[in-house]
Amino acid sequence: MDTVDKATRSKIMSKVGQRDTGPEMRLRHALHKAGYRYRLNDRRLPGSPDLVFPKFHAAVFVHGCFWHAHSCKTVPSTRREFWLEKFAANKERDKRKIDQLLASGWRVLVVWECAVKKKRAQGLDELVSLVTEWLHSAQRYGEIDAERAKTYLVS
């Protein structure tokens, strides 16, 4: 059961940012430190990718595990139907935007929040290496998460 009324919850949720999230900022700083330059949230591209690497013709999304229904998160037990519909719509939108990018010749990488958070203690060197490896590869699509960091390349 929610502890605040509907209007208060709406106000709280409206403050949840879509850009410059903690995981996104950590990845951005690590990639910049490694010498990579990129554009942020290019609205000319479908889905306004978090990072755009024109040199590599690549777009990177940093997906929050909760909002994008990653397998590392569970569906809330209250208002379960609402959340299932919300997550399904989010996943469908993500797929549509990624397909549009791929169809227009862009390469797409999804970095899941859990991959960035897991690296907190060790630093982000391994994650930056994986992103670097993908950027220099010919792979059109890839994902990096905490569990499958080594098997991220998807045809």
By residue range, what is the domain housing residue 28?
19-154
Q: What is the pLDDT of residues 41-95, one digit of tens each?
A: 898 899 899 999 999 999 999 998 888 888 888 888 888 899 999 999 999 999 9
- Residue 14 in any domain: the answer is no
- Residue 92 in any domain: the answer is yes
pTM of this structure: 0.83
- Residue 8 in any domain: the answer is no
In this prediction, residue 14 has a pLDDT band, given cuts at 50, 70 and 90, of low
- Residue 13 in any domain: the answer is no
Model pLDDT, residue 84: 92
- Residue 11 in any domain: the answer is no
Contact residues for 144 (Cβ-Cβ < 8 A; gap 6+): 109, 110, 111, 112, 115, 127, 130, 131, 134, 152
Number of folded domains in the chain?
1
In this prediction, residue 132 has a pLDDT band, given cuts at 50, 70 and 90, of very high
Model pLDDT, residue 121: 47
- Residue 2 in any domain: the answer is no
Model pLDDT, residue 87: 92
b/e code 110-147 from CB counts within 10 Å (16+ = b)? bbbbbbbebbeeeebeebbebbeebbeeebbbbbbbbe
The CATH number linked to 95 is 3.40.960.10
Higher pLDDT, 13 or 105: 105
- Residue 1 in any domain: the answer is no
- Residue 5 in any domain: the answer is no
For a pLDDT cut of 70, what percent of the chain falls above it? 81
